[in-house]
Amino acid sequence: MRLNVVILAGMVMSGGAVMADDWADWRGPEHSGVSRETGLVESWDYASRKNILWESEIGGRAAPVVLNGRVYLNCRTNHDISKPDELIHAREQVVCRDAKTGDVVWQDVFNVTQTDIPAPRVGWAAMVGDVETGNVYLHSVSGLFRCYDKDGNVIWQKSLLEEYGKISGYGGRTQTPIIDEDRIIVGFFGLNWGKTASPPPKMTFFAFDKRTGDLLWTAPVGGPPLDTNYSNPIVTVVDGQRVLVCGGADGGVHAINARSGKPLWSFKMSRRGLNTTPAVDGHLVYISHGEDNIDSTDFGRVECIDARGTGDITATNSVWRVDGIKAGYTGLVLNDGILYVVADTGKLHAFDAKTGEELWDHVLGTVGKGSPTFADGKLYVMEVNGNIHILKPSREKCESLSHVQLIAADGNGLDEIYGTPAVSDGRVFFVTRDRTICIGNENAGTRTTFDFPALEEADGGDEVVDVRVIPYETRLTEGGTVEYKVEGLNKLGQTVSTVDAELTLPETAAGVTVDGLKVTVAADAPSQGLEITAKAGELTAMTRLRNFSALPWSWDFEGFKPKQVPSQWVNAFLKLQPESVDGGTVMKKSPKGTPSANIWLGPSEMKGYTLQADFLLKEEKRKLPSVGLVVEGYNFIMVGNTSKLEINCWAPHKRVSGTSKFLAKPDVWYTLKMTVEQVDGGAIVKGKAWAKDKEEPDAWNLEVQDPHPAVSGSPGLYFYSLADILVDNVSVTANPSSDK
């Protein structure tokens, strides 16, 4: 068998030529930060409007992408969060513009929920477009992973927090997804359920079918995280094998098979997480960082790695390295044998890509965080403080062609730039905090087709050495049937054929039957999480299924064994542990590890329900913990230390917020109850709390209205454990005349 798979040199797209007007990935059509376009302007001026084709008042933090004549941007809305009358409207959005005119074609605005990420960092990850289908994809700071068609209709979506236990860091660092063939791959930290529930969390890549959203595989990489990070993956071919490479949160560089997710190699570099995106040239991988090295006292390093290896290649596969250059933010650019590195110190460094010899450095000014773009013999480089440089580099020197400094839109100080420029159709697009600017000349708009050099993947042969079950994870509500496909993979992760396999259920399965490759869950089967084994000869693989019964749900935890949690709950394992109290069993959340945790009890599409639970707070060193409920994206929290009840949905800014006094005493059981009522003009979020040994009050302690309602979301439990917390009698009931 010969696989005639053609891919872009070092990149991810299969097939023939790519239109020049498509900058569908944040690093361009070759994922390299390099454009093959010519005839681009060498200079522009903001004050005189020289070579400015259009400007928008909507800016952002992420890079723009361009697909089929449209510009897509993920960003926050332009509301002043310091003003209460505007804060209520502050959210995240996707904006689609006409690339020629800048006119808005469509917008989709959605809430920021369940994250500590502040407004200035909303809209961190860039969109990504698919040149095959015309669809575009979003990864929001709230873990919303969404596929749109070209007109803004939602094709499918996932809640990465509620479905897969994504952990949202406070700093906003969010990975941009990458499209590889029929897969869209995104990475994040998370603790899920079953065998993916055990801490510590690892950076994990999730590969979804780009058309359907079905989860195909997951791949944890590296060790325990040292930081949150935002190094974005690239896909290349090394020795005929399709490989995904990315900087890790554990301070290493990691490679997996891009078709199967199987680990290939790791290269350790830093004592902190890596944020830069690598560049590739054949079997060479280039990456940098700006933190402590693992083996020297210098801060920062530029590294060239030979990617032809397996396992830990730290000691064997360094081609060259330059220590002492702090370059921890921007992606590297490689063109014509020169590696360009923007250092945190405000310098641009040029290296001979083969030898590591430094050719020159060029003073920019201050730190840059938006990755540079190379196009038409020019390098577009940004500083955070509103400076945009157009440079003409060579092996001998670097010449400045243009330098524009942008003032903040309100006139106070300088604008800020974090995004990477996009080049498309003779136009260059800059996104700053306060604006989007398109520059070009009168000839901009001409479509050009380029033939990219192609690399062939090697023929991995017909021998099946591994199997994979598709889909890897599914979810049912009130039963149903899932029909699986089992693929046989060769040594390079290429699909050889579909194979016959035998499915085996775990002993805990209830109300579940198997017929060949079909699994049927009865309508009255209990809620449960199942890890199902597929065996084909001597090869095995796993698929995962969660089923949720009809409401009501209730848990009193009686009979639970040590470390046992409800099998379908997400992010619960070891966060909660059974504890014997007064002859019964409750769950305990201890202050070990990070104090905050959200545990998800059901599907993210749930709506129209009431959540209730009993909590007891312990006191430690005069500190009380906080506990709460989550319904449809809103929090109702009993804050122990400040003696209050609070409703919110976005903690840093409290876009929706209400508080009332409530004295929570240690070692007293309290009952919390919460629901969300959808009404004309918004939603009313309701919460009440009372001592468990008292009668439930008729009135709600808090009722808060949101003009921009969340209409669905998993029920959840919230913990901020400064001391031990006990929880018992968790229940979810359907509201009258509501959908589930």
The string of DSSP codes covering 369-389 is -SPPEEETTEEEEE-TTSEEE
The pLDDT value recorded for residue 53 is 97
Q: Is residue 587 part of a domain?
A: yes
Radius of gyration over every alpha carbon of the chain, rounded to an integer in angstroms: 26
Amino acid 245 reads V
In this structure, the answer to whether residues 712 and 638 fall within a common structural domain is yes
The pLDDT value recorded for residue 11 is 39
Residue 2 has pLDDT above 50, yes or no: no
Residue-wise pLDDT tens digits, 366-381:
999 999 999 999 999 9
pLDDT tier for residue 454 given thresholds of 50, 70 and 90: low
The pLDDT value recorded for residue 332 is 97
Q: What is the CATH number of the domain that holds 513?
A: 2.60.40.3460
Number of domains in the chain: 2
In this structure, the answer to whether residues 607 and 660 fall within a common structural domain is yes
Host domain of residue 539: 468-548
Q: Which two tokens stand for residue 218?
A: 């997951």
Q: Which two tokens stand for residue 350?
A: 């040029």
Q: Is residue 665 part of a domain?
A: yes
Residue 205 has pLDDT above 90, yes or no: yes
In this structure, the answer to whether residues 519 and 570 fall within a common structural domain is no
Q: Is 108 left (phi over 0), alpha (psi -120 to 50) or beta?
A: beta
Report DSSP state, residue 344.
T
The pLDDT value recorded for residue 442 is 82
Secondary structure (3-state) at 163: helix
Strand order across the 311-312 sheet: 234-238, 241-247, 252-257, 263-268, 311-312
Strand order across the 502-504 sheet: 178-180, 183-190, 202-209, 215-221, 473-477, 539-548, 528-536, 502-504
Verdict on whether the full-model pTM lies above 0.75: yes
Q: What span, in angstroms and rounded, lies between the C-alpha atoms of 83 and 203?
A: 37
Amino acid 362 reads H
Residue-wise pLDDT tens digits, 322-341:
999 999 999 999 999 999 99
> Which of 548, 571, 600 is the last residue in one of the domains?
548
**Across 11-25, 536-550, 602-616, least confident range:** 11-25
What number of CA atoms fall less than 13 Å from residue 672's CA on the CB side? 35
- Nearest Cα to Cα of residue 353 among 303, 299, 291: 303
**Across 47-51, 456-460, 705-709, least confident range:** 456-460
In this structure, the answer to whether residues 700 and 558 fall within a common structural domain is yes
Residue 566 has pLDDT above 60, yes or no: yes
Q: Is residue 518 part of a domain?
A: yes
What number of CA atoms fall less than 13 Å from residue 446's CA on the CB side? 12
Secondary structure (3-state) at 77: coil
The pLDDT value recorded for residue 594 is 84
Distant-in-sequence, close-in-space partners of 36: CB < 8 Å, separation ≥ 6: 20, 450
Residue 738 has pLDDT above 70, yes or no: no
Q: Is residue 433 part of a domain?
A: no
- Nearest Cα to Cα of residue 353 among 306, 276, 284: 284
The pLDDT value recorded for residue 681 is 84
> Which of 548, 579, 607 is the last residue in one of the domains?
548
In this structure, the answer to whether residues 517 and 648 fall within a common structural domain is no
First to last CA, the chain: 50
Alpha carbon 388 to its chain centroid, in Å, reads: 28
Backbone angles phi, psi at 164, to 5 degrees: -125, 5
Q: What is the CATH number of the domain that holds 567?
A: 2.60.120.560
In this structure, the answer to whether residues 562 and 608 fall within a common structural domain is yes
Total residues found in the chain within this entry: 740
Q: What span, in angstroms and rounded, lies between the C-alpha atoms of 78 and 255?
A: 39
Q: Is residue 597 part of a domain?
A: yes
Q: Which two tokens stand for residue 677?
A: 């009522």
Distant-in-sequence, close-in-space partners of 411: CB < 8 Å, separation ≥ 6: none
Q: What span, in angstroms and rounded, lies between the C-alpha atoms of 740 and 738?
A: 6
375 or 1: which carries more pLDDT confidence? 375
Q: Which whole number is the average pLDDT over 540-548?
A: 98
The pLDDT value recorded for residue 8 is 35
Q: What span, in angstroms and rounded, lies between the C-alpha atoms of 354 and 601?
A: 53
In this structure, the answer to whether residues 624 and 696 fall within a common structural domain is yes
In this structure, the answer to whether residues 491 and 572 fall within a common structural domain is no
Q: Which whole number is the average pLDDT over 724-740?
A: 88
Q: Which whole number is the average pLDDT over 7-35?
A: 68
Residue-wise pLDDT tens digits, 385-440:
999 999 999 999 999 999 999 999 999 999 999 999 999 999 999 999 999 999 99
The pLDDT value recorded for residue 7 is 33
Q: What span, in angstroms and rounded, lies between the C-alpha atoms of 558 and 576?
A: 14
In this structure, the answer to whether residues 536 and 587 fall within a common structural domain is no
Q: Is residue 557 part of a domain?
A: yes
Let me know: does 256 contact 243? Beta carbons within 8 Å: yes
Residue-wise pLDDT tens digits, 673-709:
999 999 998 999 999 999 999 999 999 999 999 999 9
pLDDT tier for residue 444 given thresholds of 50, 70 and 90: confident
170 or 199: which carries more pLDDT confidence? 199
In this structure, the answer to whether residues 628 and 708 fall within a common structural domain is yes
Backbone angles phi, psi at 610, to 5 degrees: -120, 135
Mean pLDDT of the chain: 94
Q: Which whole number is the average pLDDT over 465-479?
A: 97
Pairing of strands 241-247, 52-56: unpaired
In this structure, the answer to whether residues 473 and 612 fall within a common structural domain is no
Beta bridge partners of 520: 481, 513
Q: Is residue 194 part of a domain?
A: no
Q: Is residue 68 part of a domain?
A: no
Q: Which whole number is the average pLDDT over 230-241?
A: 95
In this structure, the answer to whether residues 582 and 720 fall within a common structural domain is yes
pLDDT tier for residue 5 given thresholds of 50, 70 and 90: very low
Q: How many CB atoms lie within 10 A of CB 68?
A: 14
